[in-house]
Structure 1
Amino acid sequence: MKKLLLLSLFLFASAFADEAKVKTLVIVSHPYFEHSTFIKGLEQAARSVQGVEVRNLEQIYGYDTRAIDGNLERKITREHQRIVFLFPTHWFNITPMMKAYLNETWGSVGPGLWQGKQMLVVSTAGGGRSTYGKNGRVGVELKDVFLPMKASALHCGMEYLEPLVFEGVNSSQLESYKQALIQRLKN
């Protein structure tokens, strides 16, 4: 009986091992998704976590930056406590569809709409230490390239979480990147 109880507790705990503590929305964008390795892998990892809804902008709207349904996206965003933006670093910035998403979904609503929600930026970059960091060509850490996202979060009354960035990405590290994302989504 004791073994059965322990097994039941283990199975119960395992069932919730990959579940987000807060209802999370992951907005994914990649301008060349068909050629993506890392964003595809990270999106797959995000989809594996219970309590996480994933919306891939290019899969939903194609590449038409004017096709984004701001009303629908605001409705979906309201249903979540944490908003995650997942994208490759695109010329030291977010992708064109991500920018269009923010313009259409967040641009005209003013501060306070997302009051109390969390924002997490997750990004990949091919450049490594020779590009990012105090001694890199751009002279700033990759996570600091996204200061406008932090400003957007603070403007909206959100808590800006420490970004999860992967620089100098290497396909041999994809599984560890996926596990790092899963851990962040679960917390």
Structure 2
Amino acid sequence: MKTLVILSHPNHKNSRVTQALVQAPSEVESVTVRNIDKLYGTDFTAIDVEAEKVAHEAADRIVYMFPIHWFNLTPMLKAYMNAVWQYSWAFGEGGYALAGKEMQVIAGAAEETYTHGSLIQYTTAEILAPIEASSYYTSMTYNHPIVFTNSNAVSDEGLKEWQQIVKAHLESPLGSNVKGVSLRKKLE
């Protein structure tokens, strides 16, 4: 099984949590990590769409790792998906390049912000609903997301536990963390 990790964090150099979590995939066989903010900076037009498509096509499981940013994906990750997930490649007529692949989301969020009784009155599951819907729209299988909360206050020991959680999910067999499967099927 091959896994592709797409990492996006607008301030990855200064994120202690992101730096720690991205180390976990390096301990797992057949995992490729692509830090799109490091590769392309903030230039949405610099995304090498063909290289990213090849990386996606080679993977069985695709992990998107990011902090929830303004109740959404990071700006670069959103631009990346808009560029790479093209019509007739990822969706639409003939667009089945991602069909049957697993999508795993690993996100960071402030726990006290993402509850029904909080300031924004939405949970992380509700905030992540558009990416879940996108996985189904592109014929992917959506795994239960992993959401790490209170990253600014996590201890070194807690961060090691988070790394082990990421590693365990990356090592888990395909089909072991499924939340939902796309109903979109390729017509023969």
TM-score range normalised by the length of the shorter chain = 0.7 to 0.9
Gaps of 5+ in 1: 1-21
What is the aligned counterpart of 1:182 among 163, 167, 182? 167
Do the aligned residues in 2 keep the contact of 1:114 with 1:156 (CA within 8 Å)? yes
Do the aligned residues in 2 keep the contact of 1:122 with 1:164 (CA within 8 Å)? yes
Structure 2 residue 107 is the aligned partner of structure 1 residue 123 = yes
1:110, CA displacement in angstroms? 4.3
5 Å-filtered alignment, 1:139-154, equals 139-154=121-136
User: 2: CA distance between counterparts of 1:124 and 1:158?
Assistant: 22
User: 2: CA distance between counterparts of 1:92 and 1:141?
Assistant: 10
Aligned counterpart, 1:4? none
Q: How many residues align?
A: 164
User: 2: CA distance between counterparts of 1:48 and 1:110?
Assistant: 30
Aligned counterpart, 2:33? 54
Structure 2 residue 144 is the aligned partner of structure 1 residue 162 = yes
User: 1: CA distance between counterparts of 2:54 and 2:90?
Assistant: 15
1:140, CA displacement in angstroms? 2.6
5 Å-filtered alignment, 1:103-114, equals 103-108=82-87, 109-111=89-91, 112-114=96-98
Structure 2 residue 44 is the aligned partner of structure 1 residue 65 = yes
User: 2: CA distance between counterparts of 1:158 and 1:57?
Assistant: 21
User: 2: CA distance between counterparts of 1:159 and 1:136?
Assistant: 30
Do the aligned residues in 2 keep the contact of 1:142 with 1:167 (CA within 8 Å)? no
Task: Give structure 1 regions of 4+ aligned residues with deviation exceeding 3 angstroms.
Answer: none
**Root-mean-square deviation (CA), in Å?**
1.3
Larger Cα Rg: Structure 1 or Structure 2? 1
Aligned partner of residue 66 in structure 1, secondary structure: helix
TM-score by length of 2: 0.82
Do the aligned residues in 1 keep the contact of 2:90 with 2:98 (CA within 8 Å)? no
Gaps of 5+ in 2: 173-188
Structure (1 or 2) with the greater helix fraction? 1
Listed one character per residue, the Cα deviations across residues 109-153 of structure 1 (whole Å, up to 9, x for unaligned) are 34222110000110112x22x311232222232133111111110
Sequence identity, in percent?
A: 37
